[in-house]
Amino acid sequence: MTIISCADIQLEQLQSVLGEYNLTIHLIDDNKKIPGSWFGEPEAGIIENNLYIRNDTPVHSALHESCHYICMAPDRRKKLHTNAGGDYDEENGVCYLSILLSDYIDNFGRERMFSNMDDWGYTFRLGSSKAWFEEDAKDAFDWLLSHKIISKTGKPEWNIRL
């Protein structure tokens, strides 16, 4: 399956989802440097509550960087610039939440998110993002629940970590 880029979706939907978390999308002109990109172009960049993308930015990258903002502690969020950092538990929460949020984007959703994560090179003990999500991510679910980022039913609460 092809990695889906931001040009392949309705950016208004992505902005609507991320706007719930006070994140603002900035679409950068093609072939311009993406501010705050840890992995370099075409990967998304994050500076404070600003997400920087281009048309060729993978949707999974935009969601992943946004979920770092959502999942990090407030003191780090205030200083966020390029390197989101975070520990093992937070990283798992970021991956889990990005999969949940993918369902709110038409023509994307979790099945494409799984394949895009695997194609990009995310690695999980069980061999795939789908197997991890469905069989090995209870710790990530519990972490997100404990920070009131998701509900007991696994739905986003539209809160950032406090």
Of 91, 41, 87, the C-alpha closest to 67 is 91
**pLDDT reading at 162 higher than 80:** yes
Q: What is the mean pLDDT of residues 14-19?
A: 98
Of 91, 24, 66, the C-alpha closest to 156 is 66
Position 103 scores a pLDDT of 98
Interstrand relation of 24-27 and 45-47 (parallel, antiparallel or unpaired): unpaired
Position 1 scores a pLDDT of 61
pLDDT band, very low/low/confident/very high, at 72 (cuts 50, 70, 90):
very high
Position 4 scores a pLDDT of 97
**pLDDT reading at 92 higher than 70:** yes
- The predicted model scores a pTM of 0.96
Contact in structure between 71 and 149 (CB atoms under 8 Å): yes
Contact in structure between 115 and 81 (CB atoms under 8 Å): no
110-154 confidence digits (pLDDT tens) = 999 999 999 998 988 889 999 999 999 999 999 999 999 999 999
DSSP state of 21: T
Q: What's the Cα-to-Cα distance from 50 to each of 22, 25, 152, 159, rounded to whole Å?
A: 9, 6, 29, 17
21-67 confidence digits (pLDDT tens) = 999 999 999 999 999 999 999 999 999 999 999 999 999 999 999 99
Q: What angle do CA 114, 82, 61 make, to 5 degrees?
A: 15
